[in-house]
Amino acid sequence: MTDCLFCRISRGEIPAAKVAENDECLAFRDISPQAPVHVLVIPKKHYASLNEVPADEFRVVARMQDMAREVAVSEGIAATGYRSVINTGDEGGQTVSHLHLHLLGGRHMKWPPG
Protein backbone atom coordinates (compact mmCIF):
# COMPACT_ATOMS: atom_id res chain seq x y z
CA MET A 1 0.00 0.00 0.00
CA THR A 2 1.76 3.13 -1.20
CA ASP A 3 -0.01 5.81 0.86
CA CYS A 4 0.04 3.99 4.22
CA LEU A 5 1.85 6.11 6.84
CA PHE A 6 3.70 3.17 8.37
CA CYS A 7 4.62 1.71 4.95
CA ARG A 8 6.12 5.08 4.07
CA ILE A 9 8.07 5.13 7.36
CA SER A 10 9.27 1.58 6.66
CA ARG A 11 10.49 2.62 3.19
CA GLY A 12 12.31 5.65 4.63
CA GLU A 13 10.06 8.19 2.91
CA ILE A 14 9.03 9.70 6.25
CA PRO A 15 11.62 10.12 9.00
CA ALA A 16 11.18 8.26 12.27
CA ALA A 17 13.31 7.73 15.36
CA LYS A 18 14.26 4.11 14.66
CA VAL A 19 15.05 1.91 17.63
CA ALA A 20 15.50 -1.50 15.95
CA GLU A 21 15.19 -3.02 12.51
CA ASN A 22 15.54 -6.36 10.76
CA ASP A 23 14.37 -7.84 7.46
CA GLU A 24 10.75 -8.24 8.64
CA CYS A 25 10.12 -5.58 11.30
CA LEU A 26 10.88 -2.01 12.28
CA ALA A 27 10.65 -0.39 15.71
CA PHE A 28 10.45 3.39 16.14
CA ARG A 29 9.43 5.88 18.81
CA ASP A 30 5.79 6.98 18.91
CA ILE A 31 5.38 10.68 18.10
CA SER A 32 2.73 11.02 20.84
CA PRO A 33 4.18 8.91 23.66
CA GLN A 34 1.84 7.67 26.37
CA ALA A 35 4.69 6.51 28.63
CA PRO A 36 8.38 7.36 29.08
CA VAL A 37 9.12 4.52 26.66
CA HIS A 38 6.58 4.22 23.83
CA VAL A 39 7.84 2.37 20.79
CA LEU A 40 5.85 1.04 17.84
CA VAL A 41 6.85 -2.24 16.25
CA ILE A 42 5.53 -2.83 12.73
CA PRO A 43 5.93 -5.51 10.11
CA LYS A 44 7.50 -4.14 6.95
CA LYS A 45 4.89 -5.98 4.91
CA HIS A 46 1.52 -4.26 4.97
CA TYR A 47 -1.32 -5.86 6.90
CA ALA A 48 -4.21 -3.52 7.70
CA SER A 49 -4.75 -5.17 11.09
CA LEU A 50 -4.17 -8.35 13.06
CA ASN A 51 -7.30 -9.73 11.37
CA GLU A 52 -5.63 -9.43 7.96
CA VAL A 53 -2.60 -11.62 8.70
CA PRO A 54 -3.00 -14.97 6.90
CA ALA A 55 -2.48 -18.06 9.05
CA ASP A 56 0.58 -19.10 7.04
CA GLU A 57 2.20 -15.68 7.69
CA PHE A 58 1.25 -15.31 11.36
CA ARG A 59 4.87 -15.86 12.42
CA VAL A 60 5.33 -12.14 11.73
CA VAL A 61 3.39 -11.43 14.93
CA ALA A 62 5.87 -13.54 16.90
CA ARG A 63 8.71 -11.65 15.22
CA MET A 64 7.11 -8.34 16.25
CA GLN A 65 6.79 -9.51 19.87
CA ASP A 66 10.38 -10.76 19.84
CA MET A 67 11.56 -7.35 18.63
CA ALA A 68 9.47 -5.67 21.34
CA ARG A 69 11.16 -7.86 23.96
CA GLU A 70 14.60 -6.96 22.58
CA VAL A 71 13.71 -3.26 22.64
CA ALA A 72 12.44 -3.57 26.22
CA VAL A 73 15.86 -4.92 27.19
CA SER A 74 17.75 -2.21 25.29
CA GLU A 75 15.52 0.54 26.71
CA GLY A 76 16.06 -0.72 30.27
CA ILE A 77 12.44 -1.59 31.04
CA ALA A 78 12.54 -5.39 30.78
CA ALA A 79 13.38 -5.94 34.46
CA THR A 80 10.77 -3.54 35.86
CA GLY A 81 7.98 -4.45 33.44
CA TYR A 82 6.33 -3.23 30.28
CA ARG A 83 3.16 -3.58 28.26
CA SER A 84 2.84 -4.76 24.67
CA VAL A 85 -0.48 -4.10 22.96
CA ILE A 86 -1.93 -4.69 19.51
CA ASN A 87 -5.09 -2.66 18.96
CA THR A 88 -7.38 -4.09 16.27
CA GLY A 89 -10.19 -2.16 14.59
CA ASP A 90 -11.90 1.09 15.52
CA GLU A 91 -13.44 -0.12 18.78
CA GLY A 92 -10.14 -1.74 19.72
CA GLY A 93 -8.44 1.64 19.46
CA GLN A 94 -6.54 1.12 16.19
CA THR A 95 -5.94 4.52 14.59
CA VAL A 96 -3.49 3.58 11.80
CA SER A 97 -4.52 0.85 9.37
CA HIS A 98 -1.21 -1.00 9.46
CA LEU A 99 -0.61 -3.75 12.00
CA HIS A 100 1.49 -2.40 14.85
CA LEU A 101 2.43 -3.27 18.40
CA HIS A 102 2.76 -0.63 21.11
CA LEU A 103 5.58 -1.21 23.60
CA LEU A 104 5.03 0.94 26.69
CA GLY A 105 7.10 1.16 29.85
CA GLY A 106 9.05 3.31 32.25
CA ARG A 107 6.09 3.91 34.57
CA HIS A 108 3.49 1.90 36.45
CA MET A 109 0.70 0.79 34.11
CA LYS A 110 -2.91 0.74 35.28
CA TRP A 111 -5.69 -1.61 34.20
CA PRO A 112 -8.00 -1.06 32.55
CA PRO A 113 -6.09 1.48 30.49
CA GLY A 114 -9.21 3.54 29.67
Q: Which residues are identified as catalytic? A: 100
Which residue(s) pair with 38 in the sheet? 104
DSSP characters over 19-53? EEE-SSEEEEE-SS-SSSEEEEEEESS--SSGGGS
Collapse the DSSP code of 108 into the 3-class scheme (helix H, G, I; strand E, B; otherwise coil) and give the result. Answer: coil
Count of residues making up the chain: 114
**Cα(76)–Cα(51) distance, integer angstroms:** 31
